[in-house]
Structure 1
Amino acid sequence: MNSSAPYPTAIAPRDAFDPLVEPRLYDGVLSRRVLAFCVDFFVVLTLTAIASVVIGVLGVFTLGLAWLLYGMVFPAAAILYSGATLGSDRAATWGMRLTGLTARLWHGGKPGFVIAAAHVVFLYLSISLLTPFVLLVGLFTRRKQLLHDLVLGTLFVDRGLLEGRA
């Protein structure tokens, strides 16, 4: 094997997400993530309301057995919504698309369904334990990552700049 590659070597994907190399990718990310969270929370609440009505009707037909699912409606809606949207080819929930953000893994790949589902679980756990203080972590990290982002190796960047539109 020779050490020279027949093709030019590309920059490693993780170098493209270095805030020292491209700091504009992270401009305004935290504030846009807060807005995206609000939009996504409303979408999940809407999905929860729809699922609750369906469970209510099913409960009548199953003599109340389906009503046992009420405790799992919100977590299931949040996990399925995030897994389907954040884990998709666009790598963004509807709120993130609205605010111009996209998710990437530390090495540049897009998160799949499992990482996206774990992301929302860790997000709600960290918010319930640390409330607004979870945002403080983002002020001190170079890539504006929150605590659950650091655990999962995810980061959020400006979609327009990443795709070369800005």
Structure 2
Amino acid sequence: MAYSELPRSAPPLLDPFRDPERFEGVLMRRVIAFMIDVVILFVPVAVATIAVFLFGIVTLGLGWALFWLAGPATVIWALLYYGTTLGGPETATWGMRMVDLQMRQGDGAPSTFLLGTVHAVLFWVSVSALSPLVLLVCFFNHRRRLLHDILLGTVVINNGSRAARLRAAGLGY
């Protein structure tokens, strides 16, 4: 049966009422994954900044002209990181992998490179423009999605192995 032939009343593939183990404890682990990802993004930027600083000393200040590249290089590095990790086979950043999370499209399909990069851009723009209070949106929907997740039609869930462990443990499911 083709996707267009499905009845309109068909529930979404990732439904917290049908598959609660996919959504159990996602919010707190998502915060931890974000912190891990920020460290992963920060370390190469810090190393590059120190290298430019030292290069500037060796070149008697001429190398410091490279500092103008720091901003654009940081943005490109972050977009490549999010695009390749969220759009890769694991559909998760390295931080998300460490805490058994993955990002999926609302119908359960894997994420793509473009969706991963747009997800990161929309997150940073929404938090910057609307204040971090925009993150409170997750407490008012049953899938615990943030504003940028809702706008892009994505959902962050437990990966298959964690969901299977939760299901096997019982925990009220």
TM-score (ref. length: structure 2): 0.77
2:158 match: 158
- 1:82 & 1:58 partners in 2: Cα distance? 29
Alignment root-mean-square deviation, CA: 2.9
Within 2, Cα distance between the matches of 1:141 and 1:162? 22
Q: Determine the structure 2 residue equivalent to 1:36.
A: 33
Quickly say closer, same or farther: Cα 1:161–1:19, change in 2 above 3 A. farther
Q: Does the aligned pair in 2 maintain the 1:87–1:116 contact within 8 Å?
A: yes
Contact 1:14 1:107 in 2 (8 A): no
Q: Per-residue deviation at 1:108?
A: 1.3
Q: Which moved more, 1:21-30 or 1:95-104?
A: 21-30
Provide the C-alpha distance between the structure 2 equivalents of 1:33 and 1:84, rounded to a whole number of angstroms.
18
1:94 aligns with 2:91: no
State the alpha-carbon separation in 2 of the partners of residues 28 and 132 from structure 1.
Answer: 21
What residue ranges of structure 2 are gaps of 5+ in the alignment? Answer: 167-173
- C-alpha separation between the residues in 1 aligned to 2:54 and 2:152? 38
Report percent identity of matched pairs.
Answer: 36
The aligned amino acid for 1:121 is: V
Listed one character per residue, the Cα deviations across residues 70-96 of structure 1 (whole Å, up to 9, x for unaligned) are 221322221111111111010000110
Per-residue deviation, 1:65: 5.7
- 1: distance between equivalents of 2:47 and 2:148? 29
Written as runs of structure 1 = structure 2, the 5 A alignment for 1:13-162 is: 15-53=12-50, 66-160=66-160
Question: 1:138, 1:107 → 2: CA distance?
Answer: 19
Kindly state the Cα deviation for residue 25 of structure 1 after the two structures are TM-superposed. 1.1
Distance verdict in 2 for CA 1:79–1:49, change over 3 Å:
same
Q: Which residue of 1 aligns with 2:170?
A: none
Answer whether contact 1:134 1:147 (CA < 8 A) is retained: yes
Secondary structure at the aligned position of 1:15 is classed as: coil
Cα gap change, 1:155 to 1:58, in 2 (>3 Å): farther
TM-score, scaled to structure 1: 0.79
Cα pair distance change 1:54/1:82, threshold 3 Å: farther
Q: Tell me the CA shift for residue 132 of structure 1.
A: 3.1
Change in Cα spacing, 1:34 to 1:131, as seen in structure 2 (3 Å) is farther
Q: Is the 8 A contact 1:25 1:161 kept in 2?
A: no
* Shift of residue 47, structure 1, vs aligned partner: 2.2
Distance in 1 between the 2:67 and 2:11 partners?
Answer: 47
**Helix, strand or coil: the match of 2:12?**
helix
Mind listing any 5+ residue stretches in structure 1 that lack a counterpart? Answer: none
Matches of 1:145 and 1:33 in 2, distance apart?
A: 11
